[in-house]
Structure 1
Amino acid sequence: MEMMRLRRSGHLFVTVFMCGCGSFMVVPAMVDVTMSAVCPGQDECSLAIYLSAFQQAIIGLGTMVMMPLIGNLSDEYGRKTLLTIPMALSIIPLAILGYSRKRNYFFAYYVVKTLTAMVCEGSIHCLALAYLADKISDRQRTLAFGVLSGVGSGSFVFGTLAARFLSSDLTFKVAALLSMVAAVYMRIFLEESLPDHDLLEPILKQRQDVTETQTHKVNKFPSVPEVSHLLKTSKTFSQALIVAFFNSLADGGMQASLLYFLKARFHFTKNQFADLLLISGVAATISQLFFMPILAPVIGEKWLLSIGLLISSINIFLYSISWSFWVPYAITTSVVFVVFTGPTLRSIASRQVGPAEQGKVQGCISGISSLANIISPLIFSHLTALFLSERPPFNFPGFSIMCIGFASMVAFIQSIMIRADAPVSSHKTTNSSMEA
């Protein structure tokens, strides 16, 4: 039954795949495009790092507000309806660079990308998770989330492979076209999904009386009392938020710093970046589609989360002391274990609420991750620029990367302390049966 429901979500997977291809295809080229627009002919450019960091921080500020709002609105109006907004907006910045990559067009892209990403960044994945949570039971949710992440990794592989062989000019044109096709496909083929508000009493409203619950309309933005009540009710959810924050702090730091570090340290170009991302994507796809379904029932999602965070911490420390160009390639293969983190963390959080709050909870996780993405570039980009400059405080180009590793280690330590509570929905089902 569960596998049949998973197969029926095929249109969602196709949508995520095509949309991911369009987004990931441009990643290897962006460093070179940014450098050529801001600091032409240079391999080290503090201004480019600061511009990327500023953009990441502003996007994080926007998504911190928008993710809980979008997730909560999807609980009321449906996942497909809300998916349309970020998928349509994501086309615009790609189309700008597809038209021209000259300096003026780059800065137009920079502004438009910053504004649209406040809504688009992470929201497609967040809504896709909520869509699957509507369809799949608690026990199979880790598997379903793992398959979704595997599809995302597959799109990463395909997009990166295309970037490896396409010229930069064609890359942005093809990416824009794929994003358009994904949006049209989603609107035509994907069925709407609305959570069943009457199936279970929502955890965020469980202290309200029956009459108030029946007449209450969903707030468009999760209120502070609602979120506070959930945090007090579920210690597991509170711990998951802490893990999400520090893991996103590390991820945001790597996103803002690693490619510029490798370009300055080993003079990597678009092709080397594409090779690294391709290795990472292949390993992630194999792991999420084949290894996770086998390991999750045996080891449990809690320990898969801890393993992923531990390997991630070790990887970051190794990046910081890279002594040769081949070291990043060797480290990238261990992403087989690192990719356990996202699906298991989302699954643990998902199991703490009933079906009517899946969008809200996934939005809260995305919101706290966005908060980390505001803080991270403000800290680590400055350190990266400082230690890659001609006059660093001391000779350690990877010092900022090592600091990022400590944030990842905090997430790992917290993950060990997460309690493997029974699903909240199970408790509520039992209680409802007893009352009946």
Structure 2
Amino acid sequence: MNGLIQGVKGLLSFLSAPLIGALSDVWGRKSFLLLTVFFTCAPIPLMKISPWWYFAVISVSGVFAVTFSVVFAYVADITQEHERSMAYGLVSATFAASLVTSPAIGAYLGRVYGDSLVVVLATAIALLDICFILVAVPESLPEKMRPASWGAPISWEQADPFASLKKVGQDSIVLLICITVFLSYLPEAGQYSSFFLYLRQIMGFSSESVAAFIAVLGILSIIAQTIVLSLLMRSIGNKNTILLGLGFQILQLAWYGFGSEPWMMWAAGAVAAMSSITFPAVSALVSRTADADQQGVVQGMITGIRGLCNGLGPALYGFIFYIFHVELNELPMSESPSGGSVVTQYHLQQNSIIPGPPFLFGACSVLLALLVALFIPEHTNLTVRSSGWKKHCGSHGHPHSPQAPGEAKEPLLQDTNV
């Protein structure tokens, strides 16, 4: 049931994200931020009202589960280009922080007070989030870029997601970025669906150890996506930061695949935190490539591809576990040696010398993503937006050779001063 829900959500997200992003480029970000947050959180109270309604609503909510595309377009509206990678890192880091705190809080409250309180509290926080957007979040899209009112006519070309996809897909740079995101996020989505079960039932982690693993990984990811990302973007540039993040992801997945001891999982988890710099760096590169009136649609494309991976990744990982005969069979519960209580015993049926075959497949997929990313030009913004400057400099005898990351801005500043 969970796989079916994630598949439907992922497909709907893939189809709707460019449309919602394109509409936010016309009608503004705030209204679509409200819309996406509301429908993403709408299934929460249904968990205690009707499981079937919950399944139905959470599947359909995939149409609006594209908050990241609207948020990243919002960030692009209010920041300068050199600030965006840090801003995107902060957005991703706060998401990681929520993943660190919310499972522990929910598990504790559910154990002490029951699941009903968890659902009520989650619903209250969602309502608080919506009220915060209404009261405290201003519209970021400039007034001149929006129609006079919601009743103003909007052409189908502005709202048609397939026209938007075709328009942006004609840009070879954006196409390379989309392929890179697909090949790198597909194994990441599959990993999220199975890794913690893998730790419990194959690597022998206890529930407490899994919780500690999530917390440590989340804290390291926050540090990586803020401090480390900012330092890397300034020192080695946008493209090299993406390549470094993909390299860390390959190492992490290979270590997960061949690792057979708990300490290896901890070490690979530290590497996984460093690989989390890839997505904010990719989003910063995309925002630099797109024009101001296309930030929503290009960020929507990236979010839509991630949504598609969220649907395909879990099914792919489960299939690879199956074909390599890595299965878990739960045996009947038996009495513990101390008497009284019962314990659940697990038996691992594994006919493969590789503990985690899907992770090795993921490493190969990310390797392909790295090879594709090599063809993405470093200074896409200078190439797209300063062709007139290059022609002007060419008439004055300035060199056209590629420049180091630290030197790229100097000629542009000189031309601006002129």
Question: Once the 2 structures are TM-superposed, how far is the Cα of residue 387 of structure 1 from its aligned partner?
Answer: 2.0
Identity between Structure 1 and Structure 2 (%) = 21
Superposition pairs of residues 213-362 of structure 1, within 5 angstroms: 219-224=158-163, 226-232=164-170, 234-266=171-203, 268=205, 271-362=208-299
The Cα offsets for residues 288-333 of structure 1, whole Å up to 9 and x where unpaired, read as 2222222211111111111111111111121123323343233222
Superposition pairs of residues 184-203 of structure 1, within 5 angstroms: 184-195=131-142
Query: Matches of 1:259 and 1:139 in 2, distance apart?
Result: 37
Does the C-alpha gap of structure 1 residues 106 and 395 become closer, same or farther in structure 2, counting only changes over 3 Å?
farther
Give the corresponding residue for 2:337: none
Alignment pair present for 1:73 and 2:23: yes
Quick check: 1:160–1:278 contact (8 Å CA) kept in 2? no
Give the alignment partner of residue 110 of structure 1, picking from 37, 47, 55: 55
Question: Once the 2 structures are TM-superposed, how far is the Cα of residue 108 of structure 1 from its aligned partner?
Answer: 4.4
Question: Once the 2 structures are TM-superposed, how far is the Cα of residue 194 of structure 1 from its aligned partner?
Answer: 1.8
Give the alignment partner of residue 89 of structure 2, picking from 115, 132, 146: 146
The Cα offsets for residues 384-403 of structure 1, whole Å up to 9 and x where unpaired, read as 34522566664644112221
- Paired residues, what number? 360
Give the alignment partner of residue 367 of structure 2, picking from 396, 406, 409: 409
Does the C-alpha gap of structure 1 residues 56 and 399 become closer, same or farther in structure 2, counting only changes over 3 Å?
same
Question: Once the 2 structures are TM-superposed, how far is the Cα of residue 67 of structure 1 from its aligned partner?
Answer: 0.5
Quick check: 2:177–2:373 contact (8 Å CA) kept in 1? yes
The Cα offsets for residues 9-36 of structure 1, whole Å up to 9 and x where unpaired, read as xxxxxxxxxxxxxxxxxxxxxxxxxxxx
Q: Give me the TM-score of the superposition, normalised by structure 1.
A: 0.74
Q: Give me the TM-score of the superposition, normalised by structure 2.
A: 0.77
**Equivalent AA in structure 2 for residue 143 of structure 1:** M
Unaligned 5+ segments in structure 1 are: 1-50, 200-214
The Cα offsets for residues 18-62 of structure 1, whole Å up to 9 and x where unpaired, read as xxxxxxxxxxxxxxxxxxxxxxxxxxxxxxxxx332222211111
The Cα offsets for residues 59-115 of structure 1, whole Å up to 9 and x where unpaired, read as 111101111111111111111100111211233322233x37xxxx55543333222
**Equivalent AA in structure 2 for residue 175 of structure 1:** A
Query: Matches of 2:240 and 2:108 in 1, distance apart?
Result: 39
**In terms of mean alpha carbon deviation, does 160-169 or 272-281 score higher?**
160-169
Query: Matches of 2:388 and 2:137 in 1, distance apart?
Result: 30
Superposition pairs of residues 380-399 of structure 1, within 5 angstroms: 380-385=317-322, 386-389=325-328, 394=352, 396-399=354-357
**In terms of mean alpha carbon deviation, does 293-302 or 416-425 score higher?**
416-425
Question: Once the 2 structures are TM-superposed, how far is the Cα of residue 180 of structure 1 from its aligned partner?
Answer: 1.7
Unaligned 5+ segments in structure 2 are: 147-153, 330-348, 393-414
Give the alignment partner of residue 380 of structure 2, picking from 408, 414, 422: 422
Question: Once the 2 structures are TM-superposed, how far is the Cα of residue 245 of structure 1 from its aligned partner?
Answer: 0.8
Query: Matches of 1:71 and 1:249 in 2, distance apart?
Result: 22
Give the corresponding residue for 1:45: none
- The structure number with the bigger radius of gyration is 2
Question: Once the 2 structures are TM-superposed, how far is the Cα of residue 263 of structure 1 from its aligned partner?
Answer: 3.0
Query: Matches of 1:218 and 1:333 in 2, distance apart?
Result: 46
